[in-house]
């Protein structure tokens, strides 16, 4: 009887600690958003940790809608935390009701994500090649970072599986599904399932 009571008490204490931890993570989130001049709506929350925000103060912007969830560390997020990085005169815009699990987004120009989109753990979204694709130019320190930059647009109600890479210039249409581990290098129409490296059409979305 005593052992059972201790077990129940321990579970209650762990639950209380979890609630307190989540509360403080979300207090810290608001501070981080303020310090990075991030615009955000109501109900933005974080789980297990606070995402990293790196916003270039030379007109770099992050705009978050309402009820966005950042899931960090743990099984669903493949033990990583969300990171949003924005260069000078660039923007990340995320609409309402989006869920991000350990996702990394890097914008040198613009990355936009539509409402009700879910992006799985370890996925990366980049709108740049980061480095010059000409090997001769990469040998020149002054030109090696002259990379192509093309905005990325992800539509509403898109589901992107874990460990995907969304490359520069890609537009993903609404309601589409990207299979886990895919590398997306070209536009995907609405209401389609794509997968693979490079990602290819699999079938239409049913329903």
- Contact 166/172 with Cβ under 8 angstroms? yes
- Contact 123/143 with Cβ under 8 angstroms? no
Beta bridge partners of 194: 178, 201
171 is catalytic: no
In sequence order, the 6+-apart residues with CB closer than 8 A to the CB of 92 are 61, 62, 63, 84, 86, 105, 107, 110, 111, 112
- Reduced to 3 states (helix: H, G, I; strand: E, B; else coil), residue 35 is helix
How many CA atoms are closer than 13 Å to the CA of 9, on its beta-carbon side?
6
In sequence order, the 6+-apart residues with CB closer than 8 A to the CB of 35 are none
Q: Out of 67, 124, 131, 148, pick the active-site residue.
A: 131
Q: Report the C-alpha dihedral over residues 100, 48, 17, 65, rounded to 10 degrees.
A: -40
Task: Give the long-range contacts of residues 15-24, CB within 8 A, separation 24 or more.
Answer: 22/47
Residues with a catalytic annotation lie at 131
């Amino acid at each position: 009887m005593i052992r059972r009571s201790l077990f129940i008490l321990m579970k209650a204490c762990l639950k209380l600690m979890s609630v307190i931890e989540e509360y403080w993570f979300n207090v810290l989130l608001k501070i981080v958003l303020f310090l990075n001049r991030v615009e955000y709506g109501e109900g933005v929350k974080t789980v297990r940790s606070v995402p990293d925000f790196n916003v270039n103060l030379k007109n770099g912007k992050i705009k978050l809608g309402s009820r966005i969830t950042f899931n960090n560390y743990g099984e669903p997020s493949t033990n990583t935390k969300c990171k949003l990085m924005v260069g000078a005169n660039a923007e990340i815009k995320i609409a309402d009701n989006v869920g991000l699990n350990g996702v990394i987004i890097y914008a040198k120009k613009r990355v936009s994500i539509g409402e009700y989109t879910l992006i799985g753990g370890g996925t990366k979204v980049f709108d740049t090649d980061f480095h010059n694709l000409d090997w001769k130019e990469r040998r020149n320190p002054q030109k090696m970072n002259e990379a192509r930059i093309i905005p990325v647009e992800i539509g509403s109600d898109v589901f992107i599986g874990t460990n995907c890479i969304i490359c520069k210039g890609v537009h993903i249409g609404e309601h589409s599904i990207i299979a886990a581990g895919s590398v997306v290098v070209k536009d995907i129409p609405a209401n389609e399932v794509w997968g693979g490296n490079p990602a290819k059409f699999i079938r239409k979305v049913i329903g």
